[in-house]
Structure 1
Amino acid sequence: MIERPTYMNRIRPFIGKNIIKVLVGARRSGKSTLLELLKRHLVAEGADERAILHINFESGRYAGISNADDLVRYVHERMSEIDGTIRLFFDEIQEVDQWEKAVRSFMVDYDADIYVTGSNARMLSSDLTTHITGRYVSIDVYPFSFAEFLDAYRQSVGPIDERTAFRRYVAQGGFPFQTDLSFDETASLQYLDDLFSTILFKDVVRHAGIRDADALERVIRYVLGEEGHLVTAANIAAYMKSEHRKASAETIANYLDAASKAFLIYKAPREDAIGKRMLKINEKYYVVDQGLRHAVGFDNANAIDQVLEGIVYMELRRRGYDVRVGKIGNKEVDFIARRGDEVSYYQVTYLLGSAQTTDREFGAFSGLRDNWPKYVLSMDEFPRNREGIRGLNIIDWLLDGGTR
C-alpha cells in the first residue's frame, strides 16, 4: 500500500474532531486506500478496533443499505453498545439516498469520528447538504502526481530514472491501481479503458439521469481530443451535427457539467488578467488523468503540448490552487493560479526550440504589470530566464513540490 503523505497531512488536523471528513475525487483515485491508511493510523495510535465500522457501499454485502433509515439502523445495531468514540468509515456514500441525514444523526447521537468518500460532486451540491452545512470539510483526492508515480514505481517495480518514468507517466497517467499491474503499459491501458467506461456510465450517466449515453460519450471524447483548446457548447454542437448526431448547446452544457461533477474532466474558466473579470465565452477542459486520454484512443505523444498542459493544470490543482486561463488583450496566458493571497502565472510548452517560440511563450506575460512570479515550463534540459520570468524544466517543477 503506497503512502500518500500529502493527503494524510491535510486530513490529520481533523482526526478525532466532530466534523465530517469528506474525501471526493474520481473513481479509483485512491480514496479507499486513504481510508485504510487512516484506519491503520488510528489503530496504531491506540484506537479500539471494535469501535471502527467500515462500509463500502459498492460491495454486495451492503446492498440492503439503500437509504438514510437503513444506514442509521445498521450503525445502531453494531455500535450502540460501544463506550467512547466510534469511528465510521463510509466508502462511496453517494450510493445511499439522503446519506446526509444519517451522518448528521450520528454526530448528534454518538461521539463519532466520521470519514466518507464519494465519486460525484453532486453529493455535496444537493439540497440535502443543509443537514451538514458547516459540519464538514471537503478534501479533493486525485490520481498520483508524477512524484507519487515515481515513488510508487520504484517501490513496486524497481529503479527507474526520472526521464524514463515521465515518459511512462505521459502515456499511462497516475491511477494507483497500476501498482497492482506492476505498471505494465498494455495492462494499465486496458484497465484505464474499462475505468473510463465505468466512470462515464456509473458516475455520469446514472447520477445525472442522462438518456443518450452514446451522445454523451461522443461529447466527452471530443473534449479529450481538444484538451487545452478553447471550446464552447455551440462548437461541440456543430461537431455533433457533422457526426449526424443532434444535440443542443444546452444539452451539451449539461453533459459537460455532469462529467465535471464526476471528476472526469475539469473546467478552467477564462479571466481577463488585466481587469480581473471572468469571461463568459470559451473555456478549456482538462481530463483528470492523461492515461485515460491515451487509453481511449488518443496518442499522447503526438499531442505532447496538450498533454503537458493538462499535467501542469492538474498539478496546480493538487497544490491547492484555483486555476484559470488568462486573457491579456489578444494574448493568452495558459494559467493564472491563486492560493489565498498568492498569485502566479504559467506558460507551458514542449520545447523552446526556436526564437519565435521563445518570444511567444515569454511574450505572453508582456501585458502584466504586477510583480507576481511568472514561469515558462518546458521539457528543455537547460531552460532560460528572461526579463524576470523564470524558465523551469517541467519534470523538475513536478518533483520539487512547488518550492521554487
Structure 2
Amino acid sequence: MEKLINRPNYLNQLIENKDIDLIKIITGIRRSGKSSLLQLFYNYLLEIGVNKKNIIHINFESLKYSNLKDYLDLYNYIKNHIENDDKIYLLFDEIQVISNFEKALESFRLDFNCDIYMTGSNAYMLSSEFSTLISGRYIEIKMLPLSFKEFLKFYNFDKNISKEEKFQNYLQIGGMPILHKLGDLKRINQTLEGIYSTIVLKDILQRNSQIDHSILSRLILFICSNIGNITINKYMQMLAASFFIYPISRYDIKGKNLLKTLGKNYIVDIGFRNLLLGYRNMDRGHILENIVFLELMRREYKVYIGKINDLEIDFIAETPQKKMYIQVSETLIDEKNRERELNSLFKIKDNYEKIILTMDRDFEKSFDGIRVINIIDWLLEDF
C-alpha cells in the first residue's frame, strides 16, 4: 500500500476531537485529500491500540458497498458489524450518496457507543434537514488543496532549485495532492481535467438537471479569468456548494457593516484556473491574491473584502483573538502602484495590523507601521 503523506494541520483536528460527542465532518472539493485523511486517522487509531474490529471504515464510492442504498440499509449494516460493547469508531467516506444518511447518523449516536467521522464533497450534505436533525452536534473540518508549505513536503525538488522557482511551479500547477505522483505537465492537466469534469457532471449537473451545461461552463471560465471580481448569478451557489469557489462578502470599514452586494469569488485551486485558461505572467497579481485568500482560510481566519470610502482593501482577516488588513501586490517598485496600496491602508485609523504581501525582496520593510512581507516567506511561516 502506498505510503500516505501526513497533513498534520487536518489530522490534529481529528485527534483533538476524538471521543468528543460531536460528529466530525470533513468537507472539501473532490480529490483534495479527504479520503487520505480518513485513512491516516484510521492508522492513528490502530497505532494507539484501538482494536481493528472496533473500527468500521466505509468508502461509499466502492462497489463493495453498492448494496447500501438508504439510511436503513446503512443502519442495519452497522448494527450487524458491532461485535462488543466497546466504543466503535465509524469512518464514512462520501456518505452523501446514501439517501437520508442523517437519520442513520442520529440513530447511531442514540443506540451505540460510537464516535463518528465522515467526508463529503459538496455542501448539500449539510442541508436544512441535516442541520435540523444534527443541529449543534457536529464540527466541520474544511479541507483545502495543498498549501505552499505542504506542496514542498509532497514534491521532491532538486536541492539546487530556489524557493522562488518552487513557488513558480506551485503557481502553475496548483495544490491538488494527487498531482505529486505525476511526472509531466500533460498528465497533470489530464488529471485536473478529470477532476474538473467530475465536479461539473456529478456534483452540479446531476443534482440540478435543469441547469444549462454551456452556461455553467462559460461562467466558470469567466470566474477563472476574473479572480476576485464581482459575479452575481444563481449558478454561483452550485459552484460554491461543490467547493469549487468560495464567495466572500464586502465589509464597510468606516460604516462597520457588511454590504449585501459587491462580494467576490475565489477559486479553490489555481491549477483549475490554469487548466482552463493557461498560465500567463500578466495574471500573477490575481493568482497571488487567490493564493493568499486560500492561505487565510487554512489559518482559520474569517475573511472579508474591505471598503474604506472609495478605496478597497484586498482582505480583512479576523479570528476571535486577532484582526489584520492585507494588501496583495506583485511588486511595490512602481511608485504609483506603491502609493495605491499604501493609501488604502493609511485611510484606516484603527490600530490593527496592516501588511502588504509582495514578491519583492530587499525592499523597504515598513512604511509608517505598515509592514511589507515577501509572500513566499509569509506562506512558509509558522502559524
SS at match of 1:207: coil
1:49 to 41, 49, 52: 52
1:99 aligns with 2:79: no
SS at match of 1:352: coil
Structure-2 residue corresponding to 1:168: 169
1:377 aligns with 2:378: no
Partner Cα distance (1:86, 1:197) in 2: 37
Name the CA shift for 1:300/1:96 in 2 (closer, same or farther; >3 Å): farther
Read off the aligned partner of 2:216 and give its amino acid letter.
L
Read off the aligned partner of 1:393 and give its amino acid letter.
N
Question: Which one is further off, 286-295 or 122-131?
Answer: 122-131
1:235-255 per-residue CA deviation (whole Å, 9 max, x = no partner) reads xxxxxxxxxxxxxxxxxx221
Read off the aligned partner of 1:22 and give its amino acid letter.
I
1:254 to 222, 230, 234: 234
Q: How does 1:307-322 map to 2 (within 5 A)?
A: 307-322=287-302
Q: Contact 1:383/1:392 (CA < 8 Å) preserved in 2?
A: no
Partner Cα distance (1:294, 1:401) in 2: 28
Structure-1 residue corresponding to 2:180: 179
Structure-1 residue corresponding to 2:112: 110
Q: TM-score, normalised by structure 2?
A: 0.95
1:350-379 per-residue CA deviation (whole Å, 9 max, x = no partner) reads 111211111111111121111100010000
SS at match of 1:82: coil
Distance apart, 1:209 and its partner CA: 4.1
Structure-2 residue corresponding to 1:250: none
Distance apart, 1:126 and its partner CA: 2.5
Structure-2 residue corresponding to 1:288: 268
SS at match of 1:295: helix
Read off the aligned partner of 1:212 and give its amino acid letter.
D
Structure-1 residue corresponding to 2:206: 206
Structure-2 residue corresponding to 1:365: 345
Query: Over aligned residue pairs, what C-alpha RMSD do you find?
Result: 1.4
Partner Cα distance (1:210, 1:196) in 2: 20
Structure-2 residue corresponding to 1:222: 222
Name the CA shift for 1:209/1:401 in 2 (closer, same or farther; >3 Å): farther
SS at match of 1:123: helix
Read off the aligned partner of 2:177 and give its amino acid letter.
P
Question: Which one is further off, 22-31 or 9-18?
Answer: 9-18
Question: Which one is further off, 357-366 or 311-320?
Answer: 357-366
Structure-2 residue corresponding to 1:7: 10
Read off the aligned partner of 2:143 and give its amino acid letter.
V
Partner Cα distance (1:299, 1:5) in 2: 31
Read off the aligned partner of 2:275 and give its amino acid letter.
A
Partner Cα distance (1:300, 1:322) in 2: 30
Distance apart, 1:269 and its partner CA: 1.3
Structure-1 residue corresponding to 2:325: 345
Distance apart, 1:2 and its partner CA: 1.0
Partner Cα distance (1:158, 1:84) in 2: 49
Q: Contact 2:225/2:277 (CA < 8 Å) preserved in 1?
A: no
Read off the aligned partner of 2:24 and give its amino acid letter.
K
Runs of 5+ in structure 2 lacking a partner? none
Q: How does 1:320-339 map to 2 (within 5 A)?
A: 320-339=300-319
Read off the aligned partner of 1:192 and give its amino acid letter.
L
Partner Cα distance (1:110, 1:158) in 2: 51
Partner Cα distance (1:388, 1:201) in 2: 49
Q: TM-score, normalised by structure 1?
A: 0.90
Distance apart, 1:120 and its partner CA: 0.7
Read off the aligned partner of 1:148 and give its amino acid letter.
E
Partner Cα distance (1:121, 1:286) in 2: 17
1:257-285 per-residue CA deviation (whole Å, 9 max, x = no partner) reads 11001100011211111112112222211
SS at match of 1:117: strand
Partner Cα distance (1:300, 1:342) in 2: 35
| Identity across matched positions, percent | 39
Distance apart, 1:338 and its partner CA: 0.9
Partner Cα distance (2:277, 2:63) in 1: 33
Partner Cα distance (1:207, 1:23) in 2: 21
Partner Cα distance (2:298, 2:275) in 1: 23
Q: Contact 2:223/2:231 (CA < 8 Å) preserved in 1?
A: no
Distance apart, 1:300 and its partner CA: 4.4
Distance apart, 1:129 and its partner CA: 2.5
1:274 aligns with 2:231: no
1:33-75 per-residue CA deviation (whole Å, 9 max, x = no partner) reads 1100001111000000111111111112212212111111111
Structure-1 residue corresponding to 2:27: 24
Read off the aligned partner of 1:36 and give its amino acid letter.
Q
Partner Cα distance (2:210, 2:70) in 1: 22
Partner Cα distance (2:185, 2:378) in 1: 25
1:147 aligns with 2:128: no
SS at match of 1:15: coil
Partner Cα distance (1:197, 1:134) in 2: 34
Read off the aligned partner of 2:105 and give its amino acid letter.
V
1:78 to 59, 78, 81: 81
Partner Cα distance (1:47, 1:218) in 2: 50
How many residues were matched structurally?
A: 378
SS at match of 2:346: coil
Runs of 5+ in structure 1 lacking a partner? 234-252
Structure-1 residue corresponding to 2:130: 128
Partner Cα distance (1:325, 1:304) in 2: 19
